[in-house]
Structure 1
Amino acid sequence: MSIKIVFFDLDGTLVDNTTGKVPASTIQSIQTLHEKGIHVVVATGRSYFFAKSVGEQLGVNNFINCSGAYITLDGTEIYKDPIPTGDWDRLVQISSLRGDHLSCFGIEETFSNGLAAEVALPILNHIDCQVIPSRFPDNEVEYMGMCLFLDRGKIEDYAHVSDDLQFYHWGSEIPNAYNIERKGNNKARAVEQVLQHYQITPDEAMAFGDGGNDIEMLQMVKIGVAMGNARDSLKEKADFVTRTVDDDGIEYALQAFHIL
């Protein structure tokens, strides 16, 4: 099978969520893909500054960040679609009034309104967040995405902010957390842009994931692989279900399709 590019989700796919580390078998697998001349792309909902340390560990310099709002290939920015100034300004004001935590992700920096509720603390305690300025002219950072952690408010309080935004619920593990991004940006659309950039067809592509926001990406390529620890909704759509991330799942699938 002629696979020329492989896309990998980050959390729960490349990185073991329990240990926070990339398994040794995955590191070796990525190295082998590089040696075979196969492109490797990290496709994540996280911002660039979150993902680049994993990329450095794996020797990967291709990223889809904020679920497609920001794309860099071979270290060069090829796509950027920040949240409009007026939209994030209204989100900042509403979250402050409601007492909800809002984190705003630039390319290299994170800003927070400082209202970390209990649900946000375990996730944000290792993140260096600057305080969101009260007025836009004080802040020249472009926000690629946001995370909202509801404390006193409800998601309905935010739905009217803009028809241009989409809210992604994190799932049952963190019931009050949402990603906020521009409508139209998703991993599948980003994968399509990357394939066009490298002049590779979907039939020459493979993707790995574990979350609900990976479904479209897995369906975009020839071989969509769900991790053994993936949500059932993703496993049902995948072409192949591999082992869990901590049980050498990436290596197992690449060997099963004779790519390694």
Structure 2
Amino acid sequence: MKAVFFDIDGTLIEGTHPDYRYIRPKVAEAIRKLQSQGHYVFIASGRSYAFLDEKIRNFGFDGYVLLNGAVIYFHDKIIYRAPLNKDFVCNICKTCENHHMEYTLQGERDAYVNKKFTYLISRLAKYGIGEKQLCLDFNLDDIDIYKMEIDSPTHADRQYVIDSLPQDITYVEDMNHNYCHVEVYAKANSKATGALKVLEQLHITKKDSFFFGDGDNDVEILSEIGFGMAMANGSVKARTAAKVIVPSVFEDGVAYGIEKYILDKE
């Protein structure tokens, strides 16, 4: 029995490209072969549940390691959750607003955005995340938050937030696209810790675990998992951390990796 974990953006799909916005047929076929052999398949993503496309939700994955490991679903049940400290969330929201930065607050099922953040709402729409996937009216005191994403084109503002983070909080700064944002989440959680919790739950050894990813927030899981594969389009840090590099998302690299390194040979 094996467990295979997949990042989404830049790995299973490329959300900015219309032909790669959904899982490609060759990749889907390879994942189905894994399932037919009795192996488990999981999403491991920085995304919240709200930001999972309906086609991914309906694909038939066995579960999701979401929000960089802060929430874990096995089938339809949450088996782990670790929200951020509420005082910290309130303070960083105030900091962002004082510096005119827009942000997304991500819960275990919902994503919360201030309706005044029109730039952020329009940017999310370009990635296929529409207003129907967002909660625009909410009371911060009433919700649990697991991760924040802070948008700002100004490096000094992003750095101000980064420098003010407490010791138990970490971040990933993404400047690979035509915008800049910072993901903020707890150091205690990552895709790696989430995947290891899944392996423990399923009694699967680390040597029988696999991961496909492309970003800086994949570095730890690429190093910790049994066999980490980075996409050719991935970041330098991701490619350095991986056991092997597979073809890019545009070349169905996930299908290649499954066929070459994971499927049981008849």
The answer to whether the Cα contact below 8 Å between 1:102 and 1:115 also exists between their aligned partners in 2 is: no
Kindly report which structure 2 residues correspond to 1:58-207, keeping only aligned pairs within 5 A, or say none: 58-116=59-117, 118=119, 121-124=122-125, 126-128=129-131, 129-131=134-136, 133=138, 136-137=140-141, 140-150=142-152, 154-158=157-161, 159-160=163-164, 162-174=166-178, 176-207=180-211
Equivalence for 2:27:
26
Pair 1:167–1:117, CA change in 2 (3 A): farther
Give the CA RMSD over aligned residues.
2.3
Q: Percent identity over the alignment?
A: 22
Q: Partner of 1:166: helix, strand, or coil?
A: strand
Which is further off, 223-232 or 81-90? 223-232
- CA displacement at 1:237 relative to structure 2: 2.3
Q: Partner of 1:230: helix, strand, or coil?
A: coil
- CA displacement at 1:114 relative to structure 2: 3.9
Q: Partner of 1:236: helix, strand, or coil?
A: helix
Pair 1:154–1:185, CA change in 2 (3 A): same
TM-score, normalising length: structure 2: 0.86
Q: Unaligned 5+ residue runs, structure 2? A: none
Q: Partner of 2:68: helix, strand, or coil?
A: helix
Pair 1:166–1:117, CA change in 2 (3 A): farther
Cα deviation, 1:149-174, whole Å, max 9, x if unaligned, reads 12566134323253332221013435
Q: How many residue pairs end up in the alignment?
A: 255
CA distance, structure 2, for counterparts of residue 52 and residue 202 of structure 1:
29
TM-score, normalising length: structure 1: 0.88
CA distance, structure 2, for counterparts of residue 218 and residue 92 of structure 1:
31
Q: Unaligned 5+ residue runs, structure 1? A: none
CA distance, structure 1, for counterparts of residue 185 and residue 7 of structure 2:
17
Pair 1:115–1:216, CA change in 2 (3 A): same
Residue among 241, 259, 262 paired with 1:255: 259
Pair 1:169–1:35, CA change in 2 (3 A): same
* Between structures 1 and 2, the one with greater helix share: 2
- CA displacement at 1:117 relative to structure 2: 7.0
CA distance, structure 2, for counterparts of residue 204 and residue 258 of structure 1:
9
